[in-house]
Structure 1
Amino acid sequence: MAVQKHYAGAKLREIRVRANLTQRAFSERLGVSLPYLNQMENDNRPVSATVILALAREFEFDVNQLQGSDEARHLSDLKEALKDPVFGDAPISAAELKLAVANAPNLMRSLIHLHGTYRQTHDRLAALDQALGLEETRLSLSPWEEVRDFFHYRDNYIDAIDHAAEEFTTDAPDLMSAIDAALQQHGISTALEDLDGLRAYDTDRRTLTLSSRSHPATRRFQTLLQIALVAHHDLLEATLDLARFRTPEARDIARIGLANYFAGAAMMPYRAFLQAARETRHDLERLADRFEASIEQIAHRLSTLQRPGAKGVPFFFVRVDQAGTITKRHSATQLHFARFGGACPLWNVHRAFETPGRFLRQLAETPDGTRYLSIARDVSKSGGAFTAPIRRYAIALGCELRHAPDVVYSDGLDLGNSAAFEPIGISCRICERTQCHQRAVPPLEHKLDVDPNQRGVLPYRIALPRQTRL
C-alpha cells in the first residue's frame, strides 16, 4: 500500500534529539544522505516511505504518528486559542499556523497550554468578581485599570511630559510669571467664581473659571492642568498615540492624567525638586512650603522621581478614603496594591484619620520579608462652605528600609530591631499570614480547617500553600 506523503520535519528533529544523535549519525541510521535529511527536517521534502520504515526499524517509531492526526488537532487548538481577543486583531494566515505547528511544536504546545491556563484563571476571576458583587466581567482591563497600568509600568514617570514641564519655567523668573505668560500667549483669561467644582473652561471664549473656595495651590495646579491641555495638546496626543489605548474612554482618562502630571511637574520641576528633596531629606512640610504646594502634591511628586540617570528614592504613594478604598496608587517599590478589596487594616494609613494634622510613622514588613518605612497623614479637604461636604482622605508614602536613612522620618526609629516591624499584608484575600488577628476574610485558594472544639486567633486554621514546581 502506498504511503501518503507527509511533511514532518519537526517530528524528525524530535526523534533525533531524543536519540541524542547528530544529523550525520541520524542520516546514516536512516540510510539517507545528510543533505536529504536536512531538507526533510526543514520541510523542503516529504518524509519518504524508506525513511518511515527506517524509523520503525531503527527507533521503534509508531508510523501512525506521521499520519497527521496530532498535527490537525494541534492546528485546530492553536486556531481556537488565537481567536481569543487577548491576542489582538493581527491576522495570522493558515500557512503561518501550519509552519508553527510543524516547525515549533514545543513552542506551539506551550502557547496552547498558556492560553488554557489563562482561560481557567479568567473563569475563576470571573466567578470571584460575581461573588464580590461586580456588575460585569470582561476579558480586557477596564479603561481606568488600563490607564493605571500605563503609569504603573512606567514607574509613574513620563519622560517627555516631565521635560516639557521642567522647560515651562526655564525662561521665567518664577512659576506665576510662566503661568501668566502662557495664558497671555494662548489668549486665555481667568476668573474666580463660587463654583461647586474646581475648574471650568469655556473653549469658545477661552475663559478659565476657577473656584474661589479652593486653596491657592489647588487653583495654581488647575491652571497648569488647563495650560497643558491647550498649550501642549500635540505632545499629549503623541504620548497617547504611543500608548495605544484600547478604548476612547481610556484615552480620555489618560489625557487628564497626563495633564495632571504636567501640572505637578511644572509646580515642582524635576531637577530643582530632586535637589530640594535630598537637601531636606524628603521633609514633606519643608518641601510644601518651598514649592507652595499641598502635602499630597509633594508626596505624589516624590513618587515620580524615576528619571533615568537621575533617580530619586523609589517611593510608593497611596491615598485612601475612610472606607479603606484606595483612590490613588503609585509604586516604584516592590510593594504593589490589590485591585479588589481594601488595604491591610494594620497599615498606619488607616489610623491617620484619628490624628488629623500629624504624621504617623511605621516600620512594616510584608509577607515576602521586605521591610518598609511608611509615613501617613490625613489630607481631608474642606469644601469651602458650611454646606459643602468635606472630602476625607489619608495618604501614605513609603520606601524600602535601605533608603530610610535618606528620609527624615526615620530619625529616632530602631531600624535594626526586628520586633519594631509590624507584619502587614496587601489585602486579606491574597495575604498568606495564618495568624493575623485583623483578618477579615480567608485567603483565596487556601484550604481551611474548621474544628468546632477549638478556637484560636481565627475561627479556622489556614493550610500553608504547597510549593509549585514551574
Structure 2
Amino acid sequence: MADDALRAGPAIRRLRKRENLTQAAMASRLSISPSYLNLIERNQRPVSARVVMALVEQFDFDPRSMREDEAIGGLDGLARRFADERFADLAIDREELDEFLSTSPQAAAAFARLYDNAGPAGETYQDPLDASRREIERWRNHFADLDREAEELADEMRLSRGDIGLALTERLRERHQLSVRILPREVLPDSLSRLDLHARQVQLSEMLGPASRNFQLALKIAQLEKADEIMSIAQGAKFDDEAARALFKRHLDGYFAAALLMPYSRFLRACDATGYDLPVLERRFSVSFEQLAHRLTTLQRVGQRGLPFFMVRLDRAGQFSKSFMGASTARFAGEEVSCPLWDAHRAFERAGELVVQYVSLDDAGEGQGGWLTMMRSVEGSGAPGDARFVVAVGVEAVLATELAQARGLSLRPADAQRIGPGCIRCYREGCPQRSLPPRGRKLHFDRMRRGTSPFEFGERQG
C-alpha cells in the first residue's frame, strides 16, 4: 500500500468524519499540516507511505479501503460500463469519469453494482461469468498466498527443467496413492481428465499433449492439497450466484496449477533473462502458449513485479472467451469483441506462428504510445482437432523496447496500427473495415456519393 502516487481523498475524509475530528485535529495526529490534509482529502496530493503508516498506527484503518475503486476495475472498468449505448447521448468522457471516481468512489461503486445487476428490463440479474471475471479483476489476477504456497511446493517436489510430468506423477502416487493412466479417446470421449477414486487413478485422455497432461496433473494436486486454501478465497467473494463462485474457484484451481509449473521467482528470473522470449519460456517450463499467457498476467508480487501483461482468448467471430487484465490498462482487451484491424484475427490462418503487432487505440491522443501484442492460434483443450482459438498477450510499448519479440520492430507511436474497441463502440470515421455503425451517432446518407466506409455518421444523437 505504500504507493507514492496513491490518491485516496474520499477514504481519508470518511475516516475523519467517522472519528468526529476536524481537519486540524486529524492533521495533528498524523503529524502533518491541516493544509496538507485538506489537499489530500481533495485528491490534490497523493497519500505518502509515511501518512499511510500513521493512519494504520493512529486509527482502526484498513489500507485496502484506499484502493476501493479496484473492486469495479478502476477507471477502465467504469469506462466500460458507461460505454453502454443507453448513455451514448450524454457524451461522458474519461476525464469526467476520472473525476467521478476520484471524488465519489462509493457512488461510482454503487452505480457499477446497479449496472452489473440490472438485466435488459431492469430486473436484477448477475451473470456468473461476468461476476467471476469482476472478482478476478478486483484481485488483479494476483493471489499472493497461492503463489507463495505453489512456490514452496515446487521446491519441495524439486520441480526443475527435468521431467516435470514424472515428478507430478510421483507426487500423486506417494502422497495420494493415485496412479496416472492414459486412456484411449473412445474411453474418455468427452473428458480431458477424470479422478477415479474407486480405482485410485487419475485418468487422462490420450489426445492431450505433454503440456496439457502436466497441467491436468498439477490441477489435480491443487484440488487435492489446496482445497481449503482455495475455498477460503472463494468463500470470501461476494457473489449472489453460486455458479459465479464455482467459476471463480475453478480459476483459482488453475491459478495454483500454473504457479506450480511456473514458480514465481524462478519464472520471473527467466522472463528477465530471456527478454520475455515467449517460445523459450514455453519450452523451458514445458507449458503451452495459453498457460504461459495466463501466467504473464499474474506477476504482481510486491517488490518483485513483472511487466503488466494482459491476455485474451478470442474465437473466429472476434468474441473474447477469456480476458485477464492483470495490472494492464489496455481498454480494448476488456471489451466483448475485438477490432478486425488487430492481427489477432490473422493468427487463425497462421497456425503455430507467433504474430507480432504494435497497436494503439484509435482514440488515443497524438503521440500516445500503444501496446506490443503477440498472438498465436491454440486448440481449446490442447487436443488435436479441438476447437481453435487465438490467444493474445500484450504489454505497453514503452515497457517493451527490450523484449525479444520487439527486436527489429519500430515502436514509434506513428508506426502503430490504430484499432478500436469493436465497431459499435468505435467512432473512427472512414474505416473500410467497419461492419456496424457506432451506437449513439447520427447516420448520414448521400444519394450522390458512396464513401469507402459502409456507414457515415456525425455528432452524437440527442
Q: Shorter-normalised TM-score: what interval?
A: 0.5 to 0.7
CA apart distance, 1:158: 1.3
Question: Quick one: distance in 2 between partners of 1:184 and 1:398?
Answer: 40
Is the aligned partner of 1:349 residue 2:344? yes
Q: Does 1:329 align with 2:323?
A: yes
User: Hey, what does 1:405 align to over in structure 2?
Assistant: 401
More deviation, 151-160/199-208: 199-208
CA distance 1:155–1:179, shift in 2 (3 Å) = farther
Determine the structure 2 residue equivalent to 1:186: 176
- The answer on 1:455 being equivalent to 2:450 is yes
1:288, distance to aligned residue in structure 2 (A): 1.0
Opposite residue 294 of structure 1, the aligned amino acid is S
Q: State the Cα distance separating 1:393 from its structure 2 match.
A: 1.3
Q: Post-superposition shift, 1:464?
A: 4.0
Does structure 2 retain, via aligned residues, the 8 Å contact 1:169–1:178?
A: no
Distance verdict in 2 for CA 1:140–1:123, change over 3 Å: closer
3-state SS of the aligned residue for 1:171? helix
2:426 paired with 1:436: no
Instruction: Name 2:372's counterpart in structure 1.
Output: 373
Indicate the larger mover: 405-414 or 335-344: 335-344
The Cα shift of 1:421 comes to 1.0
Which stretches in structure 1 are left out of the alignment for 5+ residues?
A: 1-109, 128-136
Shift of 1:146: 0.8
Return the index of the structure with the highest Cα Rg: 1
Question: How much does 1:406 deviate?
Answer: 3.0
Distance (Å, rounded) in 2 between the aligned partners of 1:337 and 1:426: 5
Query: What is the alpha-carbon distance in structure 2 between the residues aligned to residue 144 and residue 396 of structure 1?
Result: 20
Correspondence 1:249-264 to 2 at 5 A: 249-264=243-258
Residue-pair matches, total: 345
Contact residue 168 and residue 218 of structure 2 kept, 8 A: no
Q: Is the 8 A contact 2:182 2:203 kept in 1?
A: yes
Q: Using the TM superposition, name which of 202-211 and 428-437 deviates more.
A: 202-211
1:279 matches 2:269: no
CA distance in 1, matches of 2:250, 2:111: 36
User: What SS class does the counterpart of residue 410 from structure 2 fall into?
Assistant: coil
Alignment equivalent of 1:171, drawn from 156, 163, 167: 156
* TM-score after normalising by structure 1: 0.67
Gaps spanning 5+ residues in structure 2: where?
Answer: 1-103
Give the drift of 1:257: 1.0
Q: Relative to 1, partners in 2 of residues 1:121 and 1:269: Cα closer, same or farther, differing over 3 Å? A: closer
> How high is the sequence identity, in percent, across the aligned residues?
33
Residues 383 and 146 of structure 1: is their aligned pair in 2 closer, same or farther, counting only changes over 3 Å?
closer
Find the residue that maps to 1:157 and give its secondary structure.
Answer: coil
CA distance in 1: counterparts of 2:259 and 2:439, whole angstroms: 40
Question: Could you tell me how far 1:200 is from its partner in structure 2?
Answer: 0.7
> Would the alpha carbon gap of residues 157 and 138 (structure 1) be closer, same or farther in structure 2, given more than 3 Å must change?
farther
CA distance in structure 2 between the aligned counterparts of 1:457 and 1:345, rounded to whole angstroms? 16
- Is the CA contact (8 Å cut-off) linking 2:357 and 2:372 kept in structure 1? yes
- Deviation at residue 297 of structure 1 after TM alignment: 1.4
Match of 2:355 in 1: 360
Partner SS state of residue 201, structure 1: strand
Q: Match for residue 241 of structure 2? A: 247
What is the deviation of 1:436?
1.9
| Aligned-partner residue type, residue 150 of structure 2 | A
C-alpha contact (below 8 Å) 1:451/1:460 kept by paired residues:
no
Counterparts in 2 of 1:265-304, with a 5 A limit? 265-304=259-298
Q: Which of 410, 415, 418 is matched with 1:414 structurally?
A: 410
* Superposed displacement of residue 342, structure 1: 2.5
Residue among 198, 210, 226 paired with 2:204: 210
| 2:310–2:324 CA contact under 8 A, matched in 1 | yes
Is the alpha carbon distance of 1:146 and 1:417 closer, same or farther for their aligned partners in structure 2, counting shifts above 3 Å? closer
Change over 3 Å in CA distance of 1:348–1:206 after alignment to 2:
same
Q: Which amino acid aligns with 2:291?
A: Q
1:84-117 per-residue CA deviation (whole Å, 9 max, x = no partner) reads xxxxxxxxxxxxxxxxxxxxxxxxxx99x98998
- For residues 356 and 432 of structure 1, the distance between their equivalents in structure 2, rounded to whole angstroms, comes to 32
Find the aligned partners of 1:249 and 1:438 in 2 and give their Cα distance: 38
Is the partner of 2:202 in helix, strand or coil? Answer: strand
Mapped partners of 2:108, 2:178: distance in 1: 54
Range that drifts further, 395-404 or 367-376: 367-376
Residue 147 of structure 1 pairs with residue 142 of structure 2: no
SS of the residue aligned with 1:164?
helix
Question: In structure 2, what is the Cα distance between the partners aligned to 1:256 and 1:432?
Answer: 37
Contact residue 207 and residue 383 of structure 2 kept, 8 A: yes
**Paired residue secondary structure (2:140):** coil
Q: Tell me the TM-score normalised to structure 2 length.
A: 0.68
The range that moved more, 344-353 or 297-306, is 297-306
Q: Which amino acid aligns with 1:168?
A: L
3-state SS in 2 of match to 1:349: coil
The one-letter code sitting in structure 1 at the alignment partner of 2:377 is: D
Is the 1:179–1:224 contact (alpha carbons within 8 Å) kept by the matching residues of 2?
no
Distance 2:114 2:299 in 1: 38
Question: Alpha-carbon deviation of 1:413?
Answer: 1.3
Deviation by residue 1:124-157 (Cα, 9 ceiling, x = unmatched) = 9727xxxxxxxxx853431111111111222211
- Deviation, structure 1 residue 181: 2.6
> Following TM superposition, by how much is the alpha carbon of 1:348 offset from its aligned partner in structure 2, in angstroms?
0.8
Letter in 1 for 2:357: Q
Mapped to 1, the partners of 2:439 and 2:275 lie a distance apart of: 40
1:171–1:415 Cα change, 3 Å: same
Q: 1:157 aligns with which of 133, 139, 142?
A: 142
Match of 1:237 in 2: 231
Alignment-derived partner of residue 318 in structure 1: 312
**Higher RCO (C-alpha under 8 Å, 6+ residues apart):** 2
1:198 maps onto 2:197 in alignment: no
Relative to 1, partners in 2 of residues 1:367 and 1:417: Cα closer, same or farther, differing over 3 Å? Answer: closer
Residue 192 of structure 1 deviates from its aligned partner by 1.3
CA deviation vs aligned residue, 1:55-74 (integer Å, no higher than 9, x gap): xxxxxxxxxxxxxxxxxxxx
Measured after TM superposition, the shift of residue 339 of structure 1 is 7.2
Q: Distance in 2 between matches of 1:116 and 1:266?
A: 38
